[in-house]
Amino acid sequence: MVSKQLFPTYKGNALPAADTLNNEASAAYAYSPRHQLAQIAVTGCLGQTFYASAQDQLDQIANLVLMVDNEFTAKTAVYARERGYMKDVPATLAAALAVWNTDLLAQVFPRVIDNGKMLRNFVQIVRSGAMGRKSLGTRPKKLVQNWLLTASEKQLLNASIGNTPSLADVVKMVHPKPTEAWRAAWFAWLIGKPFNEADLPPITQAFERFKRDNAQGVISLDVPDVPFQMLTAQTLYSKQWAEIAKKGSWQMVRQNLNTFARNDVFKLAGMTDAIAQKLRDANAIAKARVMPYQLLAAFKASDEQVPAAVQNALQDAMEIALANVPRFDGNVVVCPDVSGSMGSIVTGHRGSASSKVRCIDVAGLVAAAVLRKNSNARVLPFEQEVVKLKLNGRDSVMTNAQKLAQIGGGGTNCSAPLKLLADEKAKVDLVIMVSDNESWMDNRHRGATATMMEWERIKQRNPDAKLVCIDIQPYGTSQAMDRKDILNVGGFSDAVFDVVASFSQGKLGAAHWVGEIEKIVLTPQ
């Protein structure tokens, strides 16, 4: 008798065979160059990940920009910056345009290079030669000069934080010619040349006065509104630290809770409540473009000296940041990957600047957020097999995310939760898989991937079901090919939830990222 394991019978059209190998040398489907560039742009951080080095990712970008047209590269840079809130990849794509099409660079420059850090990133990437040239060239140099000559004092002060290159290096490199007295004095102050203090703009003057007062032992509570890092070189007292916390941006406060604790800020009357209120301020959260994983990072990093009221405020902020997570119709299943490779840092290894948030934390966060708004959803964590874990949808997102993240380990088998559903003959309307897509425990040597085979079994009983594969660290392949009922997305911002909702409602095609990027309108300069 013919073996049914070798020659199974499936209804419907034959499944296309896998056409490439993933990083575990297992069968997978390759994305088109546009799709690969789109996913890297939305999620790529050019850091060391579990499967790829930073150099591997940079080489991939350099190759992809040669494979797609320059206009798509330009639109991708804008999309990555404006919608994905990314930094390194959009600056890298802008640097590529400095080589291949300076007219397009001029069109996207103000939208991509929208602050001083992005300016310094762009200059460093160009002068590194990674994209094909080591000098700015005439057009890019003028764009950098224009940024320096039109930026506000606050923007310039923020830009002055950081090195490689420093803003002083950039100024010395492009030689801007200011027409305003205050800007000329400020550039002289920045690069260490003689200047007239009376000509400095007001915030910089206040900073100079503050430094003199501190040097003379005068404790001034009139802390200048300069970037936090400019003040840390001074000898500061707890009341001054409190003023910094009051005036600081939402993101700065979120990142420095342990610093405030070490400097006794929370021991001052009213400061615990003041900081907690700032952290849970819905308007401030929206303005700061808060990504849920940033709140998770702050929560995980908070030491025992940070008051419980402040840690609770971070949980409140998480609920606010995820307030727009939609409810999905029908039977929803979320499958977070908890295998060993998901222990990789989500933004890649970046030395001392590495995030404490791992891919598994983000997978847990997505699953917990969906469960929070869809209390009947099933959560099926998986590694080589589905892991049994009971979650309460009424628990906070932070609590359930941590429960999921504590599993960890084992090989990757993306088809495991789908096989379980198929074996159960479960009713399914939407399956959301959150993984790095590097499945290898279920490798097949020929034909379609195991993920596609098991999904096809589910589709036999649930013909209208849809599968969304959220790829946290895209490497250019997937276990499920793009088609009408399957969407591959990359990303870990709350925008992903809207994408999933639109796809589940039939309002979005499988080529979402590419389609959204193509909608970007460029304006000739």
pLDDT of residue 466: 95
Q: What angle do CA 129, 135, 138 make, to 5 degrees?
A: 140
pLDDT of residue 423: 96
pLDDT of residue 373: 84
Q: Which of the two residues, 30 and 251, has the higher pLDDT score?
A: 251
Contact status, residue 386 vs residue 343, Cβ threshold 8 Å: no
Tens digit of each residue's pLDDT (9 = 90 or more) over 89-137: 899 999 999 999 999 999 999 999 999 999 999 999 999 988 888 889 9
| pLDDT(21) > 60 | yes
Tens digit of each residue's pLDDT (9 = 90 or more) over 202-254: 999 999 999 998 888 888 888 898 988 898 878 889 999 999 999 888 999 99
Q: Which of the two residues, 299 and 1, has the higher pLDDT score?
A: 299
Q: What angle do CA 343, 491, 285 make, to 5 degrees?
A: 100
Q: Rounded mean pLDDT of the chain?
A: 85
pLDDT of residue 131: 86
Nearest to 344 by CA among 336, 354, 329, 333: 354
Tens digit of each residue's pLDDT (9 = 90 or more) over 340-367: 888 887 765 455 545 667 888 888 888 8
Give the C-alpha distances (Å, rounded to integers) separating 134 from 89, 128, 427, 481.
18, 6, 58, 39
Structure tokens at 216: 């003379």
pLDDT of residue 425: 96
| pLDDT(48) > 70 | no
Q: Chain-centre distance of CA 59, in angstroms?
A: 20
Q: Is the pTM of this model over 0.85?
A: no
Instruction: Give the pLDDT mean for 59-71.
Output: 87
Q: Which of the two residues, 358 and 75, has the higher pLDDT score?
A: 75
Which domains, from first to last, does the chain contain?
A: 20-28+325-518 (3.40.50.410), 86-222 (no CATH), 227-324 (no CATH)
- Where residue 374 falls among pLDDT bands split at 50, 70, 90? confident
- Where residue 440 falls among pLDDT bands split at 50, 70, 90? confident
| pLDDT(471) > 90 | no
- Where residue 49 falls among pLDDT bands split at 50, 70, 90? very low
Contact status, residue 475 vs residue 437, Cβ threshold 8 Å: yes
pLDDT of residue 260: 95
Please tell me the number of Cα atoms within 13 Å of 323 on its side-chain side.
Answer: 10
| pLDDT(46) > 50 | no
Q: What angle do CA 199, 202, 204 make, to 5 degrees?
A: 85
Compute the Cα dihedral for 37, 42, 43, 47 and give only its sign.
positive
- Where residue 475 falls among pLDDT bands split at 50, 70, 90? low
| pLDDT(52) > 70 | no
Contact status, residue 334 vs residue 371, Cβ threshold 8 Å: yes
For the CA atoms of 20, 21, 22, 27, the dihedral, rounded to the nearest 10 degrees, stands at: 90
Tens digit of each residue's pLDDT (9 = 90 or more) over 311-344: 999 999 988 887 767 888 899 999 999 998 888 8
Percent of the chain with pLDDT over 70: 88
Tens digit of each residue's pLDDT (9 = 90 or more) over 380-437: 999 999 999 888 877 888 888 888 888 877 888 999 999 999 999 999 999 999 988 7
Q: Which of the two residues, 80 and 187, has the higher pLDDT score?
A: 187
